Structure formats: structure tokens, C-alpha cells
Structure 1
Amino acid sequence: MARWRALPAGIDPAVAALVAHLRKAKDFSGLSIKQLALATGYSTSSWERYLSGRALPPPAAVRSLAEVVGADPVRLLALLDAAVNARRSGPFEPTSPSKPTPRSEPTPPSEPVSPSKPVLPPGPATPEATAAGDDRPGTGVHTDRHHLTAWRQLGLLGCGMAVGAVLVLLLVQPTRVATARDVSGTTAVAVPAPTTFTCAYTRRDGRWYAGNSTTRTQQLVVDMSGPAVAELQCLLQRAGVTPGGIDGNFGPLTESAVIQAQKKFHLGVDGQVGPATWAALRG
């Protein structure tokens, strides 16, 4: 039984499950990777990528493996479908338990609030007492200053409670606050527009072009993307091989189409696009 290398860190569980079943089926057959390549019609380098998790196999390769080793193709194809959907939904990010958010207590007021002293009824204020700021009972000045101090203390208490409430909101619910800002329109969220590709076929100097790229030598493999991949998909479509859409992404369906085209044009079958495959598709 082969000793397999550990899968890359952070690989999606659906992809890992598919690779584990492919490895188990290969080990059960007792075939080497080279023998498996000869039996299925897919290159050794392709099976090395499939069995290491670096690329997803096309459905035809999975069916060929199941036929060679006597495995259940329905289960393997279901695992492949789940892995393809996981790759399309983006890179897998393992979740980690979040730490408890510390609670913040309201800030106490800087001056303690003391019980109000009994206020004596104001007496007649004399001009001399008023001008001198007399604090004696009966002048009316003592009562006004006492009320002013009480209002200041109540105001400081209210400010402290308000600051504490804001701190609790920011610490406990930062995600909700950010979402509210986004919804209200005060924070602009940039969403990139998807790139669209079309096939505008023209023939120049005896070669076919689809209007996305003029390359005839660029090496393309699984998981690459861009205009050159869109050009490849258009040329595959013109050759009568369906790549699964013109989206500029070299996925399992495009790889399967490349393999079919390489068999059709009697080229080396490896699922990769080089000068020979470009020449056949543009010819």
C-alpha cells in the first residue's frame, strides 16, 4: 500500500473526502499510478494532481477509475460533485472558537452624589448681600448655588452612564453596528463586477481566433483563469467539445473538454494546454 503525503493545510473537507476515497480505491486495486494511468487513459501527472488534492478529476476520469478498480461510480461522482461545489463557493476557512468579549462597566461619575441638604426658605435679599455674593441663609444666594451643584452632579452621572452604554455596545455588538452603518449608506461597500467573455470567431492566416487572446504557446493548467482560458473555452466549443461555459476559469469541466479534444486530435492526453493543443484548436 502506498504511503500518501498529507493533504495541504486548509483543504476543504469535501475535497479531502473525495481524495481519500480515490486513494482508497487506488490502493485497493494494487495498481501503481503509472499502471492506473495506462488503464484509465489519463496521464500519470494528472493522477498525481488528483490524488494529492491539487486538482479535481473530471467525471470521465472518476468513471474510468471506478471501472478499473471495481468501485461504486455513483458514490465517487457524488463526492466529486460536492468537491466541485465547494471549490466554486471559495476557499475553505476553518472556524475557531471565539473568545468571550469582556463586559464593560459604566464609567462612574467623577464626583459622588450626596443627599441634598434641606434648603432653607429664601429670605429677603439685600443689595449688599447680592453684590458681595453672600452665602448666608436667608439671602437667596446659598439656595441657587446648592441647586447648581446638584444639577452638575446629575449631569455627570448621566454622561457616565451614556459613555458606559456606548462602550458596551461597541464591545459586545461590533458586527451589528458595522452592518447598520453599511445598510444606512454611510459606508460604501465595493462589489467588483464579474468579468464576462464572448466568442467572436475570426480566421486569420489559416488560424481561428475568438477575440479573447491571440496566444499560441501559453501553458494552461487546472485552476488558472483569465482571457487565455476564455479563448481556450471558445476554441473547444468551436471544435465541438463542450467546456461547460465561457467563464475564463479552468475547472474540471474545462479539463475534461481538453482531454476529449486531445483524444480527438490524437495528441498526448494530459489535460494541460500547450503549443500542440493550441495549434490543433486554432488550425
Structure 2
Amino acid sequence: MARYKALSAELDPCARQLAERLRGLKDHGELTTRHLAAKTGYSAKSWERYLGGTSLPPREAVEALARITGADPVPLIALHEIAADTWDSRRARNPAEPLTPIGPAAPPTAVLPAAVPPTPAPAPGRFPHIALAAGVVALSVALLAALLLLLRLDEDATHAAVAAPPATTATSPPPSYTCRISRVDGRWSAGLNKGRNDEIVYGATGADVAEAQCLLRRAGISPGGIDGMFGPLTLRAVKAFQQRSGLVVDGMLGPRSWKALRG
């Protein structure tokens, strides 16, 4: 499990909870920031900032992490919306100027009272403006909290609204693969990689991975979806197959593992 720096005590509670949820998904999927960069299109440095709570991740990055780890994106998206609102409000709001402190009377050796300039009075109408801004922020947070509750109560309807693929130019939709299991020259094939037995490892993508996923499913071990992505579920399936076949359990598909898969 990765070691993280402690989140800042000044971090908004919603942003803190979002960062902790993203850390948990990353650790559960046994992913590194380099894996996240390869699978989501956002750089490893960006993921270090997102997971460290120093930068709020885009909604598309949250959806991408949920997709590759098999998590439900709806609660994460709702939490991101609340965190984004409070995050933007804090950044847009200028810090209040400190008032001149009123201290004890100056000692006899200090500057004469006549030379001390009077403390400037606060500009009229300043405090009502601050109170109004605070009220608007509080109302926004309350409305977003109500939206989160509605999302949880009506998850099916909301899922249809957010199920569209994220509009981002950083990544393209993964290709779809169909298993066509057949016996060719005494060897099993899914018809996806023309019978290649190239070595593939965790983090690989493409038709070779999809071929292996189809053959693992044929062998009775589920690799998750047939998506051409060598992720945590496929890794566990490969190790289970290697153990069952009496091979070295290293999680890599080399010539011996391919030979056993193809029968």
C-alpha cells in the first residue's frame, strides 16, 4: 500500500473525502501513478497532486479512475461537484484584510500621542458584503448536499444521465473485442491476435490482452471484462491460471502460459 503525505488540515472536508476515496481506489487496484497516467490520459505528476489534495482533479479524471477500477462513479461525481463548488468559492474569495490591533497604551518613551495616526475605521458596508458572500456560499453547499441525497435515492435515473463517455481529448474510447473461440490446428484461439504468443505484462493493452482474456474465460477463470486492458482483475486471473496449471506464478503471460492457455 502506497505511503501518502498527510492531507492539509485546511483542506475542505469534501475535498479531503474525495482525495481519500481516490487513494483507496488506487491502492485497491494496485495501481501506480504511471499506470493511472497510461490509462486515464492525465500525467503522473497531476495524479500526485490530485491524491495529495493540493489540486482538485477534473471530473473526467474521477470518472476514468472509477471506470478502470470498476467502482460506482455516481457517489464520486456527486462528491466532486460539492468539493469543486467549495474549492472555487475559496479561491475566488479574497482573504479579509486584518484590522489594526488595539494594544496597551505606549510607554512614556514612545512617540508622542499627537504623532500617532488614528486607526482607520473600516469602510462602510464592508461587513454586510462579507456576510452576504458567506451566506451565498452556505446556500450553495446546502443545495449541493441535497443534490447528493437525491442522487443516492434515485441512482438508476442519475446513472443514465452520467453514463455518457467523458468529453475529453486526452483519451479515446477503448476498442471493443468479441471472443470467437475456435480450435485451430489443435490449439484454442479467440481470433483476436492471429495466434501470437508475445509476452505481455501488467499494464499492457491491445488485442494480445483481449485474446488472453478470452482464453482465460474459456478456461473457467474470469478476467473481468474483455476490454484489452491488463489490469488488476486480469492479473489475478493470470496468477490463478498459472497456479492451477503448475506454472511459475509471476502474473506475466509468456510462452509457457500461452501454451497452457491454448491447450
TM-score, scaled relative to structure 2:
0.40
TM-score, scaled relative to structure 1:
0.37
Structure (1 or 2) with the larger CA radius of gyration: 1
